[in-house]
Structure formats: structure tokens, C-alpha cells
Amino acid sequence: MDKQDLNSLKKRYLIWLYKTTKEAFDRYERKFTQLEIDESLLQEIEKELKDSYLPSEKKDLEKFVNDFRNYINEKENACVKLKYKGKKTNPEFIFLDAKLEAIEKAIVKELGRKALEEIKSLYESEMIQRIIKSTEHK
């Protein structure tokens, strides 16, 4: 096996490591980022709907807003249970964070900073494609 073949094997393994670890880490982090967006959306919805509907629509609209508020609260409770064990951070989350950082350093060492940025970009593209494909069939 020549040097180029060995480098290709290393590259594929590092990409696989990055992808699998990032997916696991994102399971924790994405819920918290979703909460930030959901809370912002709720504020905007409430602002938009305040005094801008007919009295006959008020009850139905409030139900939708309250349902969304409950959804956010349930998500927040699930986030806290996932990321924290009691008052301590879940050890798996801490480990995944450290592992992801170590993988990124290994990629830079073996392949260079430009390769890390490329891998991150490929990962982001794949995740976006998954989202688009998962909603196409519904």
C-alpha cells in the first residue's frame, strides 16, 4: 500500500469518526438551539397576534399559542433530562464534546485546517439534505 492509499484510509476514517461523533453530540446540542429559536418564535407570534384578531378568533388562536408554549416546555424538560443527570452534566455529553475536539485536532494534524473546514461543510450539507429528504415524503 502506498502513501496515498494510507492517507486515503486515514482521511476516510477521520471523516467517519467526525460524522458519527458529531451526530451523537448534536443530539444533545440541537434541542437547546431549537429551544432558543422556539422561544423567539413564540414571542414573535404573541406580538403578531396581540390585538390583531377578532374576538371570535381569540379562543382558537390562544389554544394554538398555548399548545406551542406547552410544546416548548416539554422540549425544555426533555433537554434538561438528556444533558444533565441531577445537578451534574451527563458524562456522555462531556465525553462527546472532548472526543469531537480531539477528532478535529487529529484532522488538522493529519490533513490540515482546510480539510477540517471541508469536512464540516460536507457534514452540514449532508444534514441539510437529510432534513429536506425527510420532509419531501410527508
The tens digit of pLDDT for each residue in 96-121 reads: 999 999 999 999 999 999 999 999 99
**Residue 20 corresponds to which amino acid?**
T
Q: For residues 112 and 93, what is the distance between their CA atoms, to the nearest angstrom?
A: 27
Question: Which residues does residue 84 pair with via DSSP β-bridges, in sequence order?
Answer: 89
The three-state secondary structure class of 89 is strand
More confident residue, 17 or 86: 17
DSSP state of 52: -
Delimit the domains of the chain by residue range. 3-136
Q: For residues 114 and 31, what is the distance between their CA atoms, to the nearest angstrom?
A: 29
Whole-model pTM: value is 0.80
Q: For residues 39 and 57, what is the distance between their CA atoms, to the nearest angstrom?
A: 23
pLDDT tens digits, residue range 49-75? 877 777 777 778 889 999 999 999 999
